[in-house]
């Protein structure tokens, strides 16, 4: 069951429209998928499945790095380039331009996810609600973040109680669950945070979190952006 709540839509000027925010969106891992397909009655072995799965993704990464896309009944992956070129003679500059990886579902996965059951809920516990993350350099929402670039977070109850408290703030969590705390926060408001992405941030996938002590509480509250952010 996919749970969601409705929040004011920050992406349009209309004050009366709303957008859905997915709540408590759990994510599975490769190990959990392998455990499912090698369960009772399966002739597939755990060790072999892990080896093949990791080899497949390593091979895919090699092809993507070589500039090749990928197509199958499950996933379709291709490249795009963002950023402004000043004229027809301009060339790609990594300081101004960004190569992006775009992913879409193939026919079999599209069919598999048809009819997802949803449930509208209200959050009973006060916590930061992250609705959108806008990267100024790539000009994308909930997608790419650029080292040394500026990023806006919009939502509700975002204001960080104490920016000097190392337990509070904006955090980027990598795929190994290592957290990078953002040092430079330019704007700290209930509905908007503005921060600079550290130039030391390594390439990879990140989860964005806001952690804060809210008024009337003595427990740290954490809000997460449901979409994965990418440093390419």
d(CA 81, CA 71): 19
Which residue segments constitute the domains of the chain, with CATH numbers given? Answer: 2-112 (4.10.520.10), 125-231 (2.70.50.70)
6: its two tokens: 């409705």
DSSP codes joined into one string, 157-207: S---S-TT-TTSEEEEEETT--EEE---EEEE-SSEEEEEPPTTPPSEEEE
The pLDDT, as a whole number, for residue 114 is 94
d(CA 43, CA 37): 9
d(CA 61, CA 204): 12
Q: Under a CB-based contact definition with an 8 Å cutoff, are residues 39 and 155 in contact?
A: no
Considering only CA atoms, give the Rg of the chain.
20
Bridge-partner residues for 180, per DSSP? 172
pLDDT in tens, 151-174: 999 998 999 999 999 999 999 999
d(CA 115, CA 81): 33
pLDDT in tens, 95-151: 899 899 999 999 999 999 999 999 998 765 678 989 899 999 999 999 999 999 999
pTM tops 0.75: no
Find tokens 């349009």 and name the residue. 12
pLDDT in tens, 11-48: 666 767 777 878 777 888 999 999 999 998 899 999 99
pLDDT in tens, 50-73: 999 999 999 999 999 999 999 999
**Helix (H) and strand (E) counts for the chain?**
3, 16
Containing 230, the helix (H) or strand (E) segment is strand 229-231
């Amino acid at each position: 069951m996919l749970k969601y709540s409705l929040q004011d839509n920050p992406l349009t000027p209309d004050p009366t429209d709303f957008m859905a925010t997915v709540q408590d969106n759990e994510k599975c891992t490769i190990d959990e998928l392998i455990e499912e397909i090698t369960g009772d009655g399966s002739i597939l072995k755990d060790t072999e499945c892990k080896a093949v799965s990791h080899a497949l993704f390593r091979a895919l990464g090699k092809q993507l790095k070589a500039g090749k896309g990928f197509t199958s009944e499950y996933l379709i992956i291709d490249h795009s380039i963002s950023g402004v070129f000043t004229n027809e003679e301009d060339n790609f500059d990594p300081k101004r331009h960004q190569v992006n990886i775009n992913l879409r579902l193939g026919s079999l996965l599209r069919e598999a996810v048809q009819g997802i059951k949803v449930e509208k809920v209200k959050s009973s516990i006060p916590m930061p609600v992250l609705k959108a993350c806008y990267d100024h350099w790539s000009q994308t929402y909930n997608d790419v973040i650029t080292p040394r670039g500026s990023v806006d977070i919009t939502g509700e109850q975002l204001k960080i109680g104490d920016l000097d408290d190392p337990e509070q703030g904006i955090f980027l969590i990598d795929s190994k669950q290592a957290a990078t705390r953002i040092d430079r926060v330019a704007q700290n408001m209930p509905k908007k945070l503005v921060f600079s992405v550290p130039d030391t941030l390594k390439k990879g996938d990140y989860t964005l979190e806001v952690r804060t002590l809210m008024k009337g509480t003595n427990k740290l509250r954490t809000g997460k952006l449901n979409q994965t952010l990418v440093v390419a």
